[in-house]
Copies of this chain bind each other. A is one copy, B any other.
Amino acid sequence: MVPTHQSQVISLNLFEKIIVRKVQAIVEHAEQQCKKNGVRLTEKRKHILAALLHSGKALSAYELVGYCKEQLGETIPAMSVYRILGFLQSQQLVHKLDLVNKYIACAHITCHHKHAVSQFLICKQCQRVKEINLRDSVIHSLLQEVYDTDFELDSPQLEINGLCGSCGKMK
């Protein structure tokens, strides 16, 4: 069933409201975490984190500058964005994807358990990113094999290019 234009608008608005509320909740959670760690999640930092959460995808530093300008009417210098991203990374609230030079909000901010190092599947078509945790057995054999070649890994963060389900189907 194809929805009418009218119903699309309504459901998009609803959807948007739900997202905004979710983002707020996550940001507040992050703020508490920061307080616990003796650091501050300032307004600017909240804006950047919220922007990443809201966009739902990986953004470059300069894309974040644009996002803040357009969505929040706030001009944040690129230098500040980089500093803030650095801070958010130090708090594990954001991860950098070196494969595409973009930044993404951690998918596990509100998880209470200590979360493992993640693997990232990056869709090279729509740029959406899925943060997954491979099974321990896979990680373990990977680490073991790398260790056997006389290399030490600090962490099994992996970034892998591919096509997500929906882009794959469109081929």
Contacts and interface: CB of A to CB of B under 8 A. Distances in A.
Interface centre among A145, A150, A152, A153 (most CB of B within 10 A): A152
A160 B161 contact: no
Copies in the complex: 2
Interface in A106-134: 121, 123, 130, 132, 134
B151 A164 contact: yes
Q: Is the interface of A mostly helix, strand, loop or mixed?
A: mixed
Contacts of A121: 146, 149, 151, 153
A166 to B, nearest CB: 9
Nearest to A171: B152
A42 interface: no
Interface stretch (A59-67, A82-90, A135-143): A135-143
